[in-house]
Chains A and B, each alone.
Chain A
Amino acid sequence: MGRVVITGLGVVSPNGVGVPDFLHSIRNGVSGVRFMPLYEELRFNCQVAGQPVFEWEDLKKYIPETTFHGLKAMGIGYGIKAALDAWTDAGNGIESDLPRWETGCVFGSSVGDTEVVKNVINRVDIKEARKLGSRIVEQIMISGITAYITARLALGNRTITNSAACATGTQAILMGYEYIKQGMAKRMLVGSTEYVDSYIFGTFDSMRILARKFNQYPEQASRPMSSSACGFVPGSGAGALILEDLDFALQRNATIYAEVAGGSTNSGGQRNGGSMTAPGSEGIVKCISDALRDARLSPRSIDLICGHLTATAADAQEVRNWSLALDRKDDDFPMINSLKSMIGHCLSAAGSIEAVGVVLQILHQFVHPNINLEDVNPEILKMVSADKLPTEMVKKEINTVAKANFGFGDVNTCLIFSKYNQS
């Protein structure tokens, strides 16, 4: 079986657009969560969000002017930038007259652009459907993002948009890894995007699962694993990685950042504690164990867990599941962190942005801090020593990282990333 390596990264994150800014932010614990005056006006309970500082006009450098004209969907814009940045970061040229048959794309998304849908609804209702034009369908189909990326880069292998709620990003990476490992593709552009506009935000706000007690202190609002965690903070953005067959990457002298050692995705079947909105423990423990088995690594090899850890009551249960799956606790538990403390929960983009964070921690050998963790949940301290929950950046040898995300529908995905080792 072939090995699968990572050779390119791109990211549009609430705390940094582009890899250099993002790396600086995750090293230094810089928050990208901000107060949203519109959400106060709309009388949302939660009035903070993680939103990238994104220059829309910047897209003119990425796509032809005729494509840029008429593009309105923010999530597609985020995804194009992350994907093309990853592609060029891997040392590839953009232009190609012929399809790149060896390269495919799995790019995830959770909904088509609701701002664009709103325009459709308004037009149709005032009997002006004929004025909608040709550019709407491609922006409300959730495969729109993959179609735009594929068009720009002439990707000719399998091109798919996956959707698995908050597990979407990690699942896209897993699918790309599997296609390469099974010999179906030599290279896969993988990632995911999410744009939480006020309509999507409102639907989560109504579920009363968002942080509502920190509207005056936005940077403190996302508090995974803390006693004062009171709900998650929605975030937007996109992350992208270039995965390659190791031999293919070596042949073109690519710089190798890290290796995807293995992974697994499953569902708890919404049984035994799992439900539409809550992940069941059994499925998660099995998913982590299966990922390690796929990677042929022992639970002892894990140096760092980059958790799902959204800042809800489920955090303690998640830590318990990791402890059960790895059979490690207290001083023996690996370090664990949550990027969501800095950027909030980017839903379908969470897995890809957080995976870019994982690769950077392996490449630069550090553990990013958990911010807003002055008051660790005592339930978690019963399972894990306090020094495994870093609140400052830690320089440390990192060889193997476990990364997981869990989504509505009781879907789980776990990936095992390793430092690239020639042998």
Chain B
Amino acid sequence: MDRREILDELKKVLTPYTENKELLAGITEQTNLIHDLKINSANLVDIIIDAESKYDIEIDLDSAEKMTDIKNCIDVILEKMNHKA
């Protein structure tokens, strides 16, 4: 699974937490979840739980704290998936 595919799947994970669907459609690796997508910071926890379930991985608390922009989200997910493999 490459970065592009993970970014597209992340859009689905982020959908229930993002009011503005147009912003979501146009996300790049530079997009910040809180400042750009206006996601409630408390919901980052839920996004991480959803991502864990989607990719069947476990994201430790230290890694989770980095997941505030799309680039870092993809980095962490890839790392955990590779670790699992």
How many Å lie between the Cα of A89 and that of B29 in the bound state?
46
Contact of B17 among A66, A130, A131 (CB under 8 A): A66
Indicate if A70 sits at the interface (CB-CB under 8 A).
yes
Check if B16 sits within 8 Å of A133, measured CB to CB. no
Task: Tell me whether B43 and A134 are in contact (CB under 8 A).
Answer: yes
**Once the chains bind, are A131 and B19 in contact (CB under 8 Å)?**
no
Place the interface of chain B in its size category: 10 to 19
CB distance from B84 to the nearest CB of A (A): 18
- The reply to whether A134 and B45 form a contact with Cβ atoms under 8 Å apart is yes
Q: In the complex the two chains form, is A66's CB within 8 Å of B43's CB?
A: yes
A384 to chain B, nearest CB (A): 56
Residue of chain B at shortest CB distance from A138:
B42
Is the beta-carbon distance between A69 and B42 smaller than 8 angstroms? no
Q: Are A65 and B42 in contact (CB under 8 A)?
A: no
- Contact B17–A135 (Cβ < 8 Å): no
- CB A132 to nearest CB in B, in angstroms, measures 8
Q: In the complex, A96 Cα to B37 Cα: how many Å?
A: 21
B18 CB-CB contact with A under 8 Å: yes
**With a CB–CB cut-off of 8 A, which chain A residues contact B40?**
66
Q: Check if B46 is an interface residue, CB within 8 A of chain A.
A: yes
Q: Which A-chain residue is minimally distant from B40 (CB atoms)?
A: A66
Q: Mark B56-67, 1 if CB is under 8 A from A, else 0.
A: 000000000000
Q: Give A36-63 interface residues, CB cut-off 8 Å to B.
A: none
In the complex, chain B residues 38-74 whose Cβ is within 8 Å of any chain A Cβ? 40, 42-43, 45-46, 49, 52
Q: How many Å lie between the Cα of A185 and that of B45 in the bound state?
A: 37
Is A93 part of the contact surface with B, judged by Cβ < 8 Å?
Answer: no
A66 touches which of B18, B45, B49, B52 (Cβ 8 Å): B18
Q: In the assembled complex, which residues on chain B have CB atoms less than 8 Å from the CB atom of A134?
A: 42-43, 45-46
A66-B46 Cα distance, complex, nearest whole Å: 12
Query: Does residue A64 face the partner (Cβ distance < 8 Å to B)?
Result: yes
User: Is chain B's interface secondary structure helix, strand, loop, or mixed overall?
Assistant: helix
- CA distance in complex: A39, B17 (Å): 36
Q: How many residues of A contact B (CB 8 A)?
A: 10
Closest to A133 in B: B46
Cβ–Cβ < 8 Å partners of B42 in chain A: 134
Closest-by-CB residue of B relative to A70 is B46
Kindly identify which residue among A66, A70, A133 contacts B19, using a CB–CB cutoff of 8 Å.
A66
Interface of chain A residues 69 through 93 with chain B (CB within 8 A): 69-70
Tell me, rounded to whole Å, the shortest Cβ–Cβ distance linking A65 to chain B: 7
**A64 vs B40: C-alpha distance in the bound complex, in angstroms?**
13
Q: Kindly identify, within residues 1 to 41 of chain B, every residue whose CB is under 8 Å from any CB belonging to chain A.
A: 16-19, 40
Cβ–Cβ contact A69 & B19, under 8 A? no
A344 to B18, CA, bound (A): 41
Closest Cβ of chain B: how far from A141's Cβ, in Å? Answer: 14
Which residues of B are found within 8 Å of A65, using beta-carbon distances? 16, 19
Beta-carbon nearest neighbor of B17 in chain A: A66
Q: How far is the CA of A70 from the CA of B42 in the complex (A)?
A: 13
User: Using an 8 Å CB-CB cutoff, how does the interface string of A125-160 with B read, 1 for contact, 0 for none?
Assistant: 000001101110000000000000000000000000
A195 to chain B, nearest CB (A): 23
In the assembled complex, the Cα of A130 lies from the Cα of B17 at a distance in Å of 19
In the complex, what distance in Å separates the CA atom of A135 from the CA atom of B45?
A: 10
Residue numbers in B under 8 Å from A130 (CB-CB): 49
Q: Which residues of B contact A66 (CB under 8 A)?
A: 16-19, 40, 43
**Min CB–CB distance B39 → chain A (angstroms):** 8
Let me know if B45 and A69 touch, CB within 8 A: no
9 tightest Cβ-Cβ pairs between the two chains A and B: A69-B16, A134-B42, A133-B46, A134-B45, A133-B49, A134-B46, A131-B49, A66-B19, A66-B17
Binding site for B on A (CB under 8 A): 64-66, 69-70, 130-131, 133-135
> 6 extra interchain contacts, Cβ-Cβ under 8 A, other than A66-B19, A66-B43, A133-B46?
A66-B16, A66-B40, A69-B16, A70-B16, A131-B52, A134-B42
Q: Which residues of B contact A (CB under 8 A)?
A: 16-19, 40, 42-43, 45-46, 49, 52
Q: Can you show 18 pairs from A to B with CB atoms below 8 A apart? A: A64-B19, A65-B16, A65-B19, A66-B17, A66-B19, A66-B43, A69-B16, A69-B17, A70-B16, A70-B46, A130-B49, A131-B49, A131-B52, A133-B45, A133-B46, A134-B43, A134-B46, A135-B46
